[in-house]
Amino acid sequence: MIWLAIAGSALVTYAVRAFAFRVALPRSLPAGLARYLDALPAAIIAALAGPAVLVPGGTFTRGPEVAAAIVVIAVVAWRRNPLAGVLSGVATVALLRLVLAA
């Protein structure tokens, strides 16, 4: 079963990367597909990080992670820079854990 999961993951990874090369060819994409592809990275990150931030271990959290997620969303919306958002979120979690632990 594990080898099937590894093979499936490899196939999906290859298909996604090959599709990116196919899209990079000099021809125009339909507007709807272009919007979809532009929004896909943010949607994937939100789908992976959202449950881990809001419901770790199956119960809602009230820790610094929620505050950091709000800071990340605000910084990315303001600066349009995902790296700045991630760095601000990490700094927020570190600072709140330091303050709340004291």
d(CA 20, CA 78): 28
d(CA 17, CA 10): 11
Note the pLDDT of residue 45: 82
State the 10-residue block means of pLDDT for the chain, 102 residues long: 86 80 66 82 84 80 86 93 92 92 71
Say which amino acid occupies 69: A
d(CA 52, CA 34): 29
Query: In this structure, what token pair is assigned to residue 30?
Result: 């339909």
pTM of the model: 0.59
Note the pLDDT of residue 60: 80
d(CA 29, CA 60): 41
* DSSP one-letter code for 28: P
